[in-house]
Amino acid sequence: MKAIRVRRPGGPEVLRLEEIPEPGVGPGEVLVRLEAIGINFIEIYQREGLYPTPTPYTPGREGAGVVVAVGPGVTRVELGDRVASESFKGSYAEYASIGEERVVVLPPAIDTRTAAGMMLQGLTAHYLATSTHPLAVGETCLVHAAAGGVGLLLCQIATQRGAAVIGTTSTEAKAALAREAGAKDVILYAEGDFAAEVRRLTGGSGVQVVYDSVGKTTFDASLDCLAPLGMLVLYGQSSGPVPPFDPQTLNRKGSLFLTRPTLAHYVATPEALADRARDLLAWVQKGTLRVRVDHTFPLAGAEAAHRALASRTTTGKALLLP
């Protein structure tokens, strides 16, 4: 089968299309012929060596497709089922195997492109808004990169929960997308001090939570956006890692909370994964959650896909199509 392989850390050029053996299936596993593959910043971090990964390896953890083989002991998934997962080990490929407890069987109304676009980022938005800081009616949150894959979903989920959303984006075109997703106000990074604008928009009180996937360039000002006892949820670092800082800063700025969550801990059990996925699938089927897939690339175009994602010119979700 064809797959993208990384043989050394480096730039997008290290993503090479190769022919490798098709994976087998062990006890409790299923083999999926992938029809759509999600592209995420974690693959950029791994490729660059920021998250060290033994080489050679096939990147990717998100995808959706059709089950073409089942291993001994599989009871929940059948041949021909359409499934999606955020836990593949090497989804930048034509086929991938995975334990049946880590896949979600798709209802007929949801196609595999939508499913591949909603698993990792949808589950992330779900836990951010419902568990890390469970948004309540009347609260206000700041969502950085509000027109990105997680950002657009987070805006919608936050609005469903009765919270007001202030988003940040880099362009007016992206701001329009964030507003369509429910953001009440949108701030353009390039137009000045977003912390001062957040304070103005909230009458000086600040927001209850900041969802920050940008990291280095937004971290300090994000803290300045928070009301006393507010929480900064740092769930990504697209601009680079945050330098060390003095925890006393949290005290001085209002006994703030800081957390650095990751999806794996919020879907650690099959039950947790199923519960969150059930919500997402129901919202998509009802039309209250829209998954925006704006960019698709062939499998051989993984290098171009990474360049596009890293440039932060994309909106919504980007997919590889084998």
Peptide bond into 56 cis (omega under 30): yes
d(CA 46, CA 233): 22
| pLDDT tens string 47-96 | 999 889 999 999 999 999 999 999 999 999 999 999 999 999 999 999 99
pLDDT in tens, 204-230: 999 999 999 999 999 999 999 999 999
Asked whether the beta carbons of 146 and 181 are under 8 A apart, the reply is: yes
CA distance 112 to 162: 30
Q: Are 33 and 44 in contact (CB under 8 A)?
A: no
Whether the pLDDT of residue 312 is over 80: the answer is no
Q: Which two tokens stand for residue 178?
A: 């964030």
Per the listing, tokens 């300045």 go with: 224
The better pLDDT of the pair 241, 158 is held by 158
Instruction: Quote the tokens at residue 319.
Output: 């997919």
Class of the domain covering 137-260: alpha beta
Q: What pLDDT sits at residue 313?
A: 75
**What's the CA gap between 59 and 53, in Å, rounded?**
10
Query: How many other CB atoms are found less than 10 A from the CB of residue 288?
Result: 12
Q: Over range 261-281, report the average pLDDT.
A: 97
DSSP bridge pairs for 16: 5
In the CATH hierarchy, which top-level class contains the domain 2-119+267-321? alpha beta
Average pLDDT, integer, range 299-311: 94
Residue 41 has pLDDT above 90, yes or no: no
Task: Quote the longest CA-to-CA distance of the chain.
Answer: 61
Which residue blocks in the chain are alpha helix, DSSP H? 41-48, 112-127, 149-160, 172-180, 194-201, 219-224, 248-252, 263-266, 270-286, 302-310
What is the model's pLDDT at position 299?
Answer: 98
- Predicted confidence at residue 80, as pLDDT, reads 98
Residue 88 pLDDT: 96
Q: Where are the domains of the chain?
A: 2-119+267-321, 137-260
- Proportion of the chain in helix, strand, coil states, percent, rounded to 5: 35, 25, 40
Mean per-residue pLDDT, 241-267: 96
pTM: 0.93
C-alpha to C-alpha distance for 163 and 40, rounded to whole angstroms:
27
Angle of helix 270-286 relative to helix 112-127, nearest 10 degrees, comes to: 120
Beta bridge partner(s), residue 19 = 2
